[in-house]
Amino acid sequence: MGNTWKILRIMVLTSTLLAFTILVLLPTIFLASFPLIYMDDIRYEVFENPLIGDENLRFIAEVLAFSFKLSALTVLADILLGIPLAFILARSNFPGKLLLETFVTLPLVIPTSGFGFASLLTWTTISGIGKWLNLNRGVLSITSSLPFIDVPIVLFMVHVTLTLPYVVRTVQTKLVEIDTIYEDASRTLGANPLTTFRKILMPELLPAVFSGSVLAFARSLGETGATMIVAGVRLTAAVAVVKWEFEFKLGAAAFLGLILVIITWLIILPAELLLTGVKGGVVKPPSLISGKALERLLIKFEAKFSKRGFKNILYGVCIALLFILTIMPIVVVVESVIDYMFKDPYTGRV
Protein backbone atom coordinates (compact mmCIF):
# COMPACT_ATOMS: atom_id res chain seq x y z
CA MET A 1 0.00 0.00 0.00
CA GLY A 2 2.84 2.38 0.86
CA ASN A 3 4.55 1.74 -2.48
CA THR A 4 1.28 2.36 -4.32
CA TRP A 5 0.83 5.79 -2.72
CA LYS A 6 4.48 6.61 -3.42
CA ILE A 7 4.08 5.72 -7.10
CA LEU A 8 0.83 7.69 -7.26
CA ARG A 9 2.49 10.77 -5.75
CA ILE A 10 5.35 10.51 -8.24
CA MET A 11 2.88 10.23 -11.13
CA VAL A 12 0.88 13.24 -9.95
CA LEU A 13 4.03 15.32 -9.43
CA THR A 14 5.41 14.31 -12.82
CA SER A 15 2.12 15.12 -14.56
CA THR A 16 1.94 18.50 -12.85
CA LEU A 17 5.50 19.42 -13.80
CA LEU A 18 4.93 18.22 -17.36
CA ALA A 19 1.73 20.25 -17.70
CA PHE A 20 3.45 23.33 -16.26
CA THR A 21 6.34 22.91 -18.69
CA ILE A 22 4.11 22.45 -21.74
CA LEU A 23 1.47 25.06 -20.92
CA VAL A 24 3.58 27.76 -19.24
CA LEU A 25 7.33 27.41 -19.70
CA LEU A 26 7.51 26.38 -23.37
CA PRO A 27 5.25 29.20 -24.66
CA THR A 28 7.19 31.69 -22.53
CA ILE A 29 10.55 30.40 -23.80
CA PHE A 30 9.34 30.51 -27.41
CA LEU A 31 8.03 34.05 -26.97
CA ALA A 32 11.31 35.09 -25.37
CA SER A 33 13.30 33.56 -28.24
CA PHE A 34 11.16 35.18 -30.95
CA PRO A 35 12.82 38.63 -30.71
CA LEU A 36 16.25 36.99 -31.05
CA ILE A 37 15.26 34.93 -34.09
CA TYR A 38 13.19 37.60 -35.82
CA MET A 39 15.08 40.69 -34.75
CA ASP A 40 14.90 42.19 -38.24
CA ASP A 41 11.08 41.95 -38.27
CA ILE A 42 10.83 43.62 -34.87
CA ARG A 43 13.25 46.37 -35.86
CA TYR A 44 11.24 46.98 -39.04
CA GLU A 45 7.80 46.98 -37.37
CA VAL A 46 8.64 48.69 -34.07
CA PHE A 47 11.80 50.76 -34.27
CA GLU A 48 12.72 51.69 -37.85
CA ASN A 49 9.69 51.47 -40.11
CA PRO A 50 10.45 53.43 -43.32
CA LEU A 51 6.92 54.89 -43.41
CA ILE A 52 6.03 55.60 -39.77
CA GLY A 53 9.41 55.45 -38.06
CA ASP A 54 9.10 54.43 -34.39
CA GLU A 55 5.37 55.22 -34.17
CA ASN A 56 4.61 51.66 -33.04
CA LEU A 57 7.16 52.00 -30.23
CA ARG A 58 5.40 55.14 -29.00
CA PHE A 59 2.09 53.29 -29.34
CA ILE A 60 3.46 50.47 -27.17
CA ALA A 61 4.48 52.97 -24.49
CA GLU A 62 1.01 54.56 -24.67
CA VAL A 63 -0.97 51.32 -24.32
CA LEU A 64 1.31 50.08 -21.54
CA ALA A 65 0.82 53.32 -19.59
CA PHE A 66 -2.95 53.12 -20.07
CA SER A 67 -3.02 49.43 -19.07
CA PHE A 68 -1.04 50.11 -15.89
CA LYS A 69 -3.34 53.00 -14.99
CA LEU A 70 -6.45 50.90 -15.59
CA SER A 71 -5.09 47.93 -13.63
CA ALA A 72 -3.99 50.11 -10.70
CA LEU A 73 -7.41 51.77 -10.47
CA THR A 74 -9.07 48.37 -10.76
CA VAL A 75 -7.03 46.97 -7.86
CA LEU A 76 -7.83 50.03 -5.72
CA ALA A 77 -11.56 49.52 -6.33
CA ASP A 78 -11.20 45.78 -5.66
CA ILE A 79 -9.64 46.49 -2.26
CA LEU A 80 -12.26 49.08 -1.25
CA LEU A 81 -15.13 46.83 -2.30
CA GLY A 82 -13.56 43.45 -1.65
CA ILE A 83 -12.55 43.79 2.01
CA PRO A 84 -16.11 44.60 3.25
CA LEU A 85 -17.53 41.78 1.10
CA ALA A 86 -14.95 39.39 2.53
CA PHE A 87 -16.00 40.42 6.05
CA ILE A 88 -19.65 39.82 5.20
CA LEU A 89 -18.93 36.32 3.90
CA ALA A 90 -16.45 35.35 6.63
CA ARG A 91 -18.01 36.83 9.76
CA SER A 92 -21.77 36.90 9.09
CA ASN A 93 -24.49 34.30 8.84
CA PHE A 94 -27.71 35.28 7.09
CA PRO A 95 -30.24 33.86 4.65
CA GLY A 96 -28.88 34.08 1.12
CA LYS A 97 -25.20 33.95 2.11
CA LEU A 98 -24.57 31.05 -0.27
CA LEU A 99 -26.20 33.04 -3.07
CA LEU A 100 -23.96 36.02 -2.30
CA GLU A 101 -20.89 33.78 -2.42
CA THR A 102 -22.08 32.55 -5.81
CA PHE A 103 -22.42 36.12 -7.07
CA VAL A 104 -18.86 36.87 -5.93
CA THR A 105 -17.44 33.79 -7.66
CA LEU A 106 -19.54 34.11 -10.83
CA PRO A 107 -17.08 36.33 -12.78
CA LEU A 108 -14.46 33.57 -12.53
CA VAL A 109 -16.58 31.09 -14.51
CA ILE A 110 -18.59 33.13 -17.02
CA PRO A 111 -17.09 33.74 -20.50
CA THR A 112 -15.47 37.17 -20.43
CA SER A 113 -16.50 38.10 -23.96
CA GLY A 114 -20.13 37.27 -23.14
CA PHE A 115 -19.96 39.34 -19.97
CA GLY A 116 -18.38 42.21 -21.91
CA PHE A 117 -21.27 42.17 -24.37
CA ALA A 118 -23.76 42.01 -21.49
CA SER A 119 -22.16 45.06 -19.86
CA LEU A 120 -22.12 46.93 -23.18
CA LEU A 121 -25.81 46.14 -23.68
CA THR A 122 -26.67 47.14 -20.12
CA TRP A 123 -24.98 50.51 -19.90
CA THR A 124 -24.67 51.91 -23.42
CA THR A 125 -27.83 50.89 -25.32
CA ILE A 126 -31.56 51.56 -25.09
CA SER A 127 -32.09 47.84 -24.46
CA GLY A 128 -30.47 48.04 -21.03
CA ILE A 129 -30.88 50.35 -18.06
CA GLY A 130 -31.92 53.13 -20.46
CA LYS A 131 -35.11 51.22 -21.26
CA TRP A 132 -35.90 50.72 -17.58
CA LEU A 133 -35.51 54.47 -16.99
CA ASN A 134 -37.57 55.37 -20.11
CA LEU A 135 -34.57 56.97 -21.81
CA ASN A 136 -33.98 57.03 -25.55
CA ARG A 137 -30.31 56.20 -25.06
CA GLY A 138 -28.01 54.26 -22.82
CA VAL A 139 -27.15 55.44 -19.33
CA LEU A 140 -23.51 55.78 -20.41
CA SER A 141 -21.67 56.24 -23.67
CA ILE A 142 -18.92 53.79 -24.51
CA THR A 143 -16.57 56.79 -24.51
CA SER A 144 -17.74 58.14 -21.11
CA SER A 145 -14.65 58.44 -18.90
CA LEU A 146 -13.93 58.86 -15.21
CA PRO A 147 -13.30 62.55 -14.43
CA PHE A 148 -9.63 63.61 -14.27
CA ILE A 149 -8.49 60.02 -14.92
CA ASP A 150 -9.43 59.43 -18.57
CA VAL A 151 -10.42 55.79 -18.15
CA PRO A 152 -13.66 54.62 -19.83
CA ILE A 153 -16.27 53.96 -17.15
CA VAL A 154 -17.73 50.79 -18.69
CA LEU A 155 -14.25 49.35 -19.23
CA PHE A 156 -13.35 50.14 -15.62
CA MET A 157 -16.53 48.50 -14.28
CA VAL A 158 -15.92 45.35 -16.33
CA HIS A 159 -12.33 45.03 -15.08
CA VAL A 160 -13.43 45.52 -11.46
CA THR A 161 -16.09 42.83 -11.85
CA LEU A 162 -13.74 40.29 -13.41
CA THR A 163 -10.93 40.81 -10.86
CA LEU A 164 -12.94 41.35 -7.65
CA PRO A 165 -13.17 37.62 -6.74
CA TYR A 166 -9.38 37.38 -6.40
CA VAL A 167 -9.36 39.92 -3.57
CA VAL A 168 -12.59 38.80 -1.91
CA ARG A 169 -11.76 35.11 -1.83
CA THR A 170 -8.17 35.61 -0.67
CA VAL A 171 -9.15 37.94 2.18
CA GLN A 172 -12.17 35.80 3.10
CA THR A 173 -10.00 32.70 3.44
CA LYS A 174 -7.57 34.55 5.70
CA LEU A 175 -10.39 35.93 7.86
CA VAL A 176 -11.77 32.43 8.41
CA GLU A 177 -8.32 31.27 9.58
CA ILE A 178 -7.80 34.14 12.06
CA ASP A 179 -8.77 33.38 15.65
CA THR A 180 -11.14 36.03 17.02
CA ILE A 181 -9.69 35.88 20.54
CA TYR A 182 -7.60 39.02 20.06
CA GLU A 183 -10.52 40.92 18.55
CA ASP A 184 -12.71 39.91 21.49
CA ALA A 185 -10.04 41.03 23.93
CA SER A 186 -9.70 44.36 22.12
CA ARG A 187 -13.44 45.03 22.30
CA THR A 188 -13.52 43.92 25.94
CA LEU A 189 -10.89 46.57 26.70
CA GLY A 190 -13.11 49.20 25.08
CA ALA A 191 -11.74 49.51 21.55
CA ASN A 192 -14.28 50.26 18.83
CA PRO A 193 -14.56 47.95 15.78
CA LEU A 194 -12.59 50.21 13.41
CA THR A 195 -9.73 50.62 15.87
CA THR A 196 -9.74 46.87 16.42
CA PHE A 197 -9.56 46.39 12.68
CA ARG A 198 -6.66 48.81 12.31
CA LYS A 199 -4.66 47.54 15.27
CA ILE A 200 -5.45 43.81 15.30
CA LEU A 201 -6.79 42.61 11.97
CA MET A 202 -4.99 44.78 9.42
CA PRO A 203 -1.49 43.38 10.17
CA GLU A 204 -2.94 39.87 9.79
CA LEU A 205 -4.80 40.68 6.57
CA LEU A 206 -2.11 42.62 4.72
CA PRO A 207 -0.44 39.54 3.17
CA ALA A 208 -3.82 38.29 1.91
CA VAL A 209 -4.78 41.73 0.58
CA PHE A 210 -1.41 42.04 -1.13
CA SER A 211 -1.62 38.56 -2.65
CA GLY A 212 -5.15 39.10 -3.94
CA SER A 213 -4.20 42.52 -5.31
CA VAL A 214 -1.25 41.08 -7.24
CA LEU A 215 -3.49 38.43 -8.81
CA ALA A 216 -6.13 41.04 -9.64
CA PHE A 217 -3.53 43.35 -11.20
CA ALA A 218 -2.12 40.57 -13.38
CA ARG A 219 -5.64 39.48 -14.39
CA SER A 220 -6.60 43.03 -15.36
CA LEU A 221 -3.35 43.54 -17.26
CA GLY A 222 -3.97 40.45 -19.41
CA GLU A 223 -7.74 40.75 -19.87
CA THR A 224 -8.76 40.63 -23.55
CA GLY A 225 -12.20 39.08 -24.15
CA ALA A 226 -14.44 41.62 -22.44
CA THR A 227 -12.00 44.47 -23.04
CA MET A 228 -12.18 44.10 -26.82
CA ILE A 229 -15.95 44.61 -26.65
CA VAL A 230 -16.26 47.53 -24.23
CA ALA A 231 -13.01 49.44 -24.75
CA GLY A 232 -14.31 51.55 -27.63
CA VAL A 233 -11.47 53.51 -29.21
CA ARG A 234 -9.08 52.84 -26.30
CA LEU A 235 -6.71 49.90 -26.47
CA THR A 236 -5.01 48.05 -23.66
CA ALA A 237 -1.69 46.29 -24.19
CA ALA A 238 -3.31 42.83 -24.30
CA VAL A 239 -5.83 43.94 -26.93
CA ALA A 240 -3.05 45.60 -28.94
CA VAL A 241 -1.29 42.21 -29.14
CA VAL A 242 -4.46 40.63 -30.57
CA LYS A 243 -4.92 43.55 -32.98
CA TRP A 244 -1.39 43.22 -34.36
CA GLU A 245 -1.78 39.46 -34.66
CA PHE A 246 -4.87 39.94 -36.85
CA GLU A 247 -2.90 42.45 -38.94
CA PHE A 248 -0.04 39.90 -39.31
CA LYS A 249 2.39 42.24 -37.53
CA LEU A 250 3.88 39.30 -35.65
CA GLY A 251 7.10 41.10 -34.77
CA ALA A 252 5.33 43.95 -32.98
CA ALA A 253 2.84 41.54 -31.36
CA ALA A 254 5.64 39.28 -30.09
CA PHE A 255 7.62 42.24 -28.77
CA LEU A 256 4.66 43.65 -26.82
CA GLY A 257 3.60 40.16 -25.68
CA LEU A 258 7.08 39.51 -24.32
CA ILE A 259 6.98 42.81 -22.42
CA LEU A 260 3.65 41.78 -20.83
CA VAL A 261 4.98 38.35 -19.86
CA ILE A 262 8.12 39.86 -18.31
CA ILE A 263 6.07 42.44 -16.40
CA THR A 264 3.72 39.75 -15.08
CA TRP A 265 6.61 37.57 -13.91
CA LEU A 266 8.32 40.57 -12.32
CA ILE A 267 5.12 41.31 -10.39
CA ILE A 268 4.14 37.81 -9.29
CA LEU A 269 7.50 36.21 -8.45
CA PRO A 270 8.77 38.95 -6.08
CA ALA A 271 5.32 39.08 -4.49
CA GLU A 272 5.37 35.34 -3.83
CA LEU A 273 8.91 35.52 -2.45
CA LEU A 274 7.92 38.42 -0.21
CA LEU A 275 4.84 36.63 1.09
CA THR A 276 6.80 33.42 1.65
CA GLY A 277 9.33 35.35 3.72
CA VAL A 278 6.71 36.94 5.98
CA LYS A 279 6.99 35.22 9.35
CA GLY A 280 3.66 34.01 10.66
CA GLY A 281 1.82 35.75 7.85
CA VAL A 282 1.74 39.02 9.80
CA VAL A 283 2.92 42.36 8.48
CA LYS A 284 3.27 45.38 10.68
CA PRO A 285 2.07 48.33 8.60
CA PRO A 286 4.04 51.56 8.80
CA SER A 287 2.63 53.94 11.37
CA LEU A 288 1.02 56.93 9.70
CA ILE A 289 -0.06 58.41 13.02
CA SER A 290 2.53 59.66 15.48
CA GLY A 291 1.78 61.29 18.77
CA LYS A 292 -0.84 60.53 21.40
CA ALA A 293 -3.00 63.51 20.44
CA LEU A 294 -3.33 62.38 16.84
CA GLU A 295 -3.95 58.81 17.93
CA ARG A 296 -6.79 59.93 20.22
CA LEU A 297 -8.23 62.02 17.38
CA LEU A 298 -8.14 59.02 15.07
CA ILE A 299 -9.81 56.81 17.68
CA LYS A 300 -12.62 59.36 18.06
CA PHE A 301 -13.05 59.41 14.29
CA GLU A 302 -13.13 55.61 14.18
CA ALA A 303 -15.65 55.48 17.03
CA LYS A 304 -17.98 57.80 15.13
CA PHE A 305 -17.96 55.50 12.09
CA SER A 306 -18.09 52.27 14.07
CA LYS A 307 -21.76 52.56 14.88
CA ARG A 308 -23.87 49.63 13.76
CA GLY A 309 -25.94 51.79 11.42
CA PHE A 310 -22.87 52.89 9.45
CA LYS A 311 -21.63 49.30 9.25
CA ASN A 312 -24.98 48.13 7.87
CA ILE A 313 -25.00 50.97 5.33
CA LEU A 314 -21.47 50.06 4.21
CA TYR A 315 -22.37 46.39 3.81
CA GLY A 316 -25.57 47.30 1.97
CA VAL A 317 -23.72 49.59 -0.45
CA CYS A 318 -21.11 46.90 -1.18
CA ILE A 319 -23.76 44.24 -1.85
CA ALA A 320 -25.69 46.67 -4.06
CA LEU A 321 -22.54 47.49 -6.07
CA LEU A 322 -21.83 43.78 -6.47
CA PHE A 323 -25.36 43.27 -7.80
CA ILE A 324 -25.06 46.24 -10.18
CA LEU A 325 -21.68 45.17 -11.54
CA THR A 326 -22.24 41.41 -11.78
CA ILE A 327 -25.90 40.47 -11.85
CA MET A 328 -27.56 43.37 -13.65
CA PRO A 329 -25.76 42.76 -16.98
CA ILE A 330 -26.80 39.10 -16.87
CA VAL A 331 -30.41 40.06 -16.12
CA VAL A 332 -30.42 42.52 -19.04
CA VAL A 333 -29.08 39.89 -21.45
CA VAL A 334 -31.66 37.32 -20.36
CA GLU A 335 -34.44 39.91 -20.70
CA SER A 336 -33.18 40.89 -24.17
CA VAL A 337 -33.03 37.26 -25.32
CA ILE A 338 -36.60 36.66 -24.17
CA ASP A 339 -37.72 39.95 -25.71
CA TYR A 340 -36.15 39.39 -29.13
CA MET A 341 -37.09 35.73 -29.25
CA PHE A 342 -40.65 36.68 -30.19
CA LYS A 343 -39.79 39.55 -32.56
CA ASP A 344 -39.07 39.70 -36.26
CA PRO A 345 -35.27 39.99 -36.68
CA TYR A 346 -35.66 42.58 -39.47
CA THR A 347 -38.46 44.83 -38.22
CA GLY A 348 -38.32 44.29 -34.47
CA ARG A 349 -42.08 43.79 -34.40
CA VAL A 350 -43.82 41.00 -32.54
Predicted local confidence at residue 290, as pLDDT: 54
Beta bridge partners of 49: 53
Give the pLDDT confidence of 258-304 residue by residue, as tens digits.
888 888 888 878 877 776 665 455 555 555 555 566 767 777 766 66
Question: What CATH code is carried by the domain that includes residue 154?
Answer: 1.10.3720.10
**Stated length of the chain:** 350
Could you write out the three-class secondary structure of 84-107?
HHHHHHHHCCCCCHHHHHHHHHHH
Contact partners, residue 6, CB within 8 Å, separation at least 6: none
210, part of any domain: yes
Q: Which residues of 21-53 are buried (b: 16+ CB within 10 A; e: fewer)?
A: eeeeeeeeeebeebbeebeebbebbbeeeeeee
As a whole number of angstroms, the distance between CA 301 and CA 298 comes to 5
43, part of any domain: no
Contact 251, 259 (CB under 8 A): no
Query: Which strand (E) or helix (H) includes residue 307?
Result: none
Comparing CA positions, the residue from 316, 320, 319 lying closest to residue 308 is 316
Q: What are phi and psi of 296, to 5 degrees?
A: -65, -40
247, part of any domain: no
Q: Is residue 33 pLDDT above 80, yes or no?
A: no
3-state class percentages of the chain: helix first, strand second, coil last, to nearest 5: 75, 0, 25
Predicted local confidence at residue 71, as pLDDT: 95
38, part of any domain: no
As a whole number of angstroms, the distance between CA 237 and CA 256 comes to 7
Q: Is residue 337 pLDDT above 60, yes or no?
A: yes
Beta bridge partners of 53: 49
Q: What are phi and psi of 145, to 5 degrees?
A: -120, 155
DSSP string, 183-205: HHHHHHTT--HHHHIIIIIHHHH
Comparing CA positions, the residue from 73, 84, 62 lying closest to residue 235 is 62
Q: pTM score, two decimals?
A: 0.86
45, part of any domain: no
Q: Which residues of 79-97 are buried (b: 16+ CB within 10 A; e: fewer)?
A: bebbbbbbbbbbeeeeeee
Write out the residue range of the structural domain in which residue 110 sits.
66-234+281-341
Predicted local confidence at residue 77, as pLDDT: 96
Residue 137, helix vs strand vs coil: coil
Give the pLDDT confidence of 16-29 residue by residue, as tens digits.
888 888 877 787 77
154, part of any domain: yes
Q: Is residue 308 pLDDT above 70, yes or no?
A: no
Give the pLDDT confidence of 89-105 residue by residue, as tens digits.
998 888 888 999 999 99
Q: Per the structure, how many domains does the chain have?
A: 1
259, part of any domain: no
How does residue 307 score in pLDDT terms, banded at 50, 70 and 90? confident
Residue 152, helix vs strand vs coil: strand
202, part of any domain: yes
Contact partners, residue 179, CB within 8 Å, separation at least 6: none
Residue 49, helix vs strand vs coil: strand
